[in-house]
């Protein structure tokens, strides 16, 4: 497992317009922009951090890279690592 694993599904060349979207913050209602692979986002208005309502890891069922992604998730990698980094960032705010 390499630290530089990049999910092939995250290649923005193949994204659709709906892969970048806004959803209201559950705390204050401000529209927060999400990218399809963002596990969480922090509301720029009130600072509330909430999960991506459209995060879909269903690709683990069919993607040829799923074994690598699943191992990285189990080790706190990919999404888990990003969540950890965001949690650390939130502590600094």
Domain boundaries, the chain: 15-92
pTM of the prediction?
0.60
Q: 64 to each of 16, 25, 69, how far by Cα in Å?
A: 21, 34, 10
pLDDT higher for 25 or 69? 25
What are the backbone angles phi and psi of residue 67, rounded to the nearest 5°? -60, -35
Which residue, chain included where needed, has tokens 């923005």? 12
Residues 19-64 pLDDT 10s: 899 999 999 999 999 998 888 999 999 999 999 998 877 777 888 8
- pLDDT at residue 89 in the model: 59
How would you classify residue 19: left for phi > 0, otherwise alpha for psi between -120 and 50, otherwise beta? alpha
């Amino acid at each position: 497992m390499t630290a530089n694993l990049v999910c092939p599904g995250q290649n923005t060349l193949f994204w659709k317009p709906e892969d970048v979207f806004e959803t209201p913050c559950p705390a204050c209602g401000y529209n927060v922009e999400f990218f399809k692979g963002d596990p969480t986002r922090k509301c720029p208005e009130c600072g509330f951090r909430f999960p991506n309502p459209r995060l879909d890891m269903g690709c683990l069922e069919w993607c040829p890279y799923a074994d690598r992604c699943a191992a990285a998730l189990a080790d706190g990698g990919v999404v888990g690592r990003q969540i950890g980094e965001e949690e650390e960032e939130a502590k600094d705010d």
